Amino acid sequence: MAIQLFHNPRCSKSRQTLALLEAEGIDFEVILYLDTPPDVNTVRHLLEKLDYTPRQLMRKNESKYRELELDNDTLSEEALIQAMVAHPILIERPILVTDAKAAIGRPPEKVLEIL
């Protein structure tokens, strides 16, 4: 089973999740998604595995969210996905992805539920 962690080293929850996975001896790939932003298909894949809507995956407290006025309820799901692709800082983190599921590490222990 291929396991990936969408990680932001500047985020404390992301760092805690990384440390937890390492302490558990889990083999996984780290994806620094701010350095290599996900494309539209990857965001859709994450949404499907999480069983989330685009808005649920977005960090609503990010200044970019307010700047782009993404709280507008008339925006389509496609527009929200495009915003996350263009500005990956908007994507909630960390995200652990397995072949079958994904989970957001808030709290970090939440990712262990899908392993």
Catalytic residues: 11
Asked whether the beta carbons of 98 and 92 are under 8 A apart, the reply is no
Burial 88-110, CB ≥16 within 10 A → b, else e:
bbbbbbbbbbbeeebbbbbebee
Give 65-108 as a DSSP string: HHHTTTT-TTS-HHHHHHHHHH-GGGB-S-EEE-SS-EEE-SSG
CB atoms within 10 A of CB 14: 22
